Amino acid sequence: MEREKPTFDILGRIEKERAARNWSEYALAENSGLTQSTISTWRRRNLQPNVASIEKICSG
């Protein structure tokens, strides 16, 4: 029997935390060292950020 791999909605968790802090995409970008356009692209295309971007967000 094959095990199901767990999935994580990283983008959803980032959005939830962003909303809790009442941050715009721009504020998240400024605090994490990413560009607003990168964050906007994730949302528009429903893409998951890579590990390096997640680290920047967590550090910011």
Are 33 and 60 contacting, i.e. CB atoms less than 8 angstroms apart?
yes
Are 18 and 31 contacting, i.e. CB atoms less than 8 angstroms apart?
no
Are 11 and 47 contacting, i.e. CB atoms less than 8 angstroms apart?
yes
Residue 5 scores a pLDDT above 80? no
Question: Which residue is listed with tokens 């939830």?
Answer: 16
Summarised one tens digit per residue, pLDDT across range 14-35 is 999 999 999 999 999 999 999 9
pLDDT, position 25: 95
Question: Which residue is listed with tokens 């605090």?
Answer: 31
Read off the pTM.
0.79
Are 26 and 32 contacting, i.e. CB atoms less than 8 angstroms apart?
no
* Token couple for 58: 């967590």
Task: Kindly list the structural domains of the chain, giving each domain's residue range(s) and its CATH number in brackets, ordered by start.
Answer: 10-59 (1.10.260.40)
